Amino acid sequence: MSLAQFNLPDVGEGLTEAEIVSWKVAPGDSVSVNQVICEIETAKSIVELPCPFAGVVEELLVQEGDTVEVGKPIISVQAEGNILVAGPTTTSIPLVPESSSTHQAVADVAASVASGENGPNLVGYGSSAHGGTRRRRGAGINAPAVIPAASTSMPISPVVVSSASTDIIAKPPIRKLAKDLNVDLSKVQASGLAGEITREDVVSAASQASVFRNLTTPAAPSAREERIPVKGVRKAIATAMVQSAFTAPHVSIFVDIDATRTMEYVKRLKASTDFAGVKVTPLLLMAKAMMWAVRRNPTVNSTWTDKEIIVHNFVNFGVAAATPRGLIVPNIKDADQMSMLELAKALEQLASTAREGKTTPEDMKDGTITITNIGVFGVDTGTPILNPGQVAIVALGSIRPKPWVVNNEIVIRQVTTIGATFDHRVVDGDVASRFVQDVASVIEEPALLLD
Q: Which of 103, 130, 312, 424 is catalytic?
A: 424
Q: Are 40 and 11 in contact (CB under 8 A)?
A: yes
Whether residue 424 lies in the annotated active site:
yes
18 burial (CB, 10 Å; 0-12 / 13-18 / 19+) is buried
Q: Distances from the Cα of 302 to the Cαs of 309, 316, 338, 421, 424, in angstroms?
A: 7, 11, 20, 14, 12
Question: Which of the 8 DSSP states describes residue 211?
Answer: T
Q: Are 58 and 27 in contact (CB under 8 A)?
A: yes
- Number of other residues whose CB lies within 10 A of the CB of residue 217: 6
Pairing label, strands 55-60, 73-79: antiparallel
> What stretch of H or E contains 261?
helix 260-271
- Number of other residues whose CB lies within 10 A of the CB of residue 91: 13
Q: Hey, is 377 helix, strand or coil?
A: helix
Q: For residue 77, which phi and psi values (nearest 5 degrees)?
A: -135, 135
**What is the rounded CA–CA span in Å between residue 400 and residue 416?**
7
**What is the rounded CA–CA span in Å between residue 44 and residue 88?**
21
Active site residues: 424
